[in-house]
Amino acid sequence: MGFDAEFFKLALSFFVMAIYAIALILILMYSLAQLNLLINYLKAKKKKDTCPRFDLNNPTEVPYVTIQLPVYNELYVMERLLDNIAEIDYPKDKLEIQVLDDSTDESVISTAEKIEEIKAKGLDISHIRREDRTGFKAGALKEGLIDAKGDFIAIFDADFLPKKDWLKQTIPYFKNEEIGVVQTRWGHINRDYSLLTKIQAFALDAHFTLEQVGRNSKGHFINFNGTAGIWRKTCIIDAGNWEGDTLTEDLDLSYRAQLKNWKFKYLEDVETPAELPVVISAARSQQFRWNKGGAENFRKMVKRVIFSKNISFKTKIHGILHLLNSTMFLNVLIVGVLSIPMLYIKNTYGHLEIYFTISSFFIISTVIFFICFWFPYKRVQGGGFLNFVDYIKMFFTFFSVAMGFSVHNSVAVLEGHMGKRSEFVRTPKFNIKNLKDSWKNNKYIKKKISANTVIEALLMVYFLFGMYSAYPLNDFGLFPFHLMLFLGFAFVFFNSIRSKV
């Protein structure tokens, strides 16, 4: 029997169409979950908070708090961090500060000097050093917990600047003994520094309004975001303490705590300002850690969520999709890469055109995301026609750049699902205050160009070819999609090259 080339081409076409369709369906499912969270969010905004609270004017109700500051080679922001934390308004006899310093550079000396300066003002502050970084951030938090005096543990990363009344706004909610965590919304002190920071702020605002409120208001699982929140110490211990077997120890402990029936309280109206990465290599390291950690936690937690007898079916669905958040980048990459072969299949096999109606799923998903992201944007930036026009531009800019990150983030997701271990790579901090400040002399920036950057360059050219293909085929249906992909990969590639020089 001879080789039938036409049959092989047709079979390959069906295979491509099947993979394309599966990725589109998964994206649609995720968008529908986001729509459900939007409905939850809008309903929650109408409800009055009736949670019981401590009266901090009554000394007998003021609990002991430990503030933990896990840091590693934070030369540029340590002084700013410690000066800020020293201004926290809380009774000194009920407050302890732990600087969990795993640093290996000269910042250790300046940090120690600053701690002594603060200690002289009467604050209980200690400089805790480890001989090795076992467990990375999770290991540092766990070791600090051993000697922590507080019944409640507030955690701040080095780039966060909580306001003076932060503890007074958050601690009262722990009067409800079922609450194990209080999490606050991140703010962005350098939102308008560059297009990159604007895009990051846009995405984080959606998470910290739509997703956190949408899940929390219905009792679905949310996550402590690694910083700008407080844990009840007994909750940490009861959930099994910090574990360093994933890159997102915060998500891991959050799920273990909620599976043991601890409640989380999310405070959208309490903003904790922080610095966004201003250079793409820093954003890459952060994105890689978050996305790989999400996949690692899916691998670790999904069975526990599915077989838990403590939670509802709907909470399980939202929990699974939450753990699969980062996997959406892989689906987007698949849809993007296969869209060009799909264009040629469509124009080669006219009788298969009816099967291409599934492509409308992507349009539906995009419309849903467009609606969902508007409300977080309006919450932060305000409504009105001009802001809506700005939103349209930012939405499509964000989507383009998010697709440009899809290779980098897909590698992270695949490594996480396959169980490949890697080090906890910190995100370099810059202490950038305005446009005149430069990041180029930051000693923590990696100068090496990764293999992912080369792939991004090739995909930039690939999607340029996709746009060109629309002309000989006289089919411009995917032209806007390919344009966004081209611009996204071009943005990521050229900014990556720029950060290396």
Q: Verify whether residue 102 is a known catalytic residue.
A: yes
**Cα 427 from Cα 277, distance rounded (Å):** 8
Q: Which of 39, 458, 424 is nearest to 248 (CA)?
A: 424
**Cα 342 from Cα 335, distance rounded (Å):** 10
Hey, what amino acid is at 438? S
Q: Are 119 and 127 in contact (CB under 8 A)?
A: no
**Cα 498 from Cα 280, distance rounded (Å):** 9
Q: Are 241 and 139 in contact (CB under 8 A)?
A: no
Q: Are 335 and 27 in contact (CB under 8 A)?
A: yes
**Cα 97 from Cα 150, distance rounded (Å):** 10
3-class SS of residue 160: strand
Q: Verify whether residue 250 is a known catalytic residue.
A: yes
User: Of 101, 102, 157, 252, which one is the catalytic site residue?
Assistant: 102
66 pairs with which residues across the strands? 96, 153
Q: Are 224 and 181 in contact (CB under 8 A)?
A: yes
Helix or strand (DSSP H, E) at 101: strand 95-101
User: Of 101, 157, 205, 250, which one is the catalytic site residue?
Assistant: 250
Helices (H), 308-421: 313-323, 328-348, 360-381, 385-404, 406-418
**Cα 113 from Cα 105, distance rounded (Å):** 14
Angle subtended at Cα 322 by Cα 140 and Cα 214, rounded to the nearest 5 degrees: 105
- DSSP 8-state code for residue 73: S
- Angle subtended by helix axes 107-119 and 78-85, to nearest 10: 20
Interior/surface letters 205-229, b for 16+ CB within 10 angstroms, e for the rest: bbebbbbbbbbbbbebbbbbbbbbb
In Å, how far are 79, 89, 123, 155, 262 from 117, measured between CA atoms?
11, 18, 10, 21, 39
- End-to-end CA, the chain: 59
In Å, how far are 85, 122, 167, 489 from 91, measured between CA atoms?
13, 11, 10, 51
The catalytic residues are 102, 250
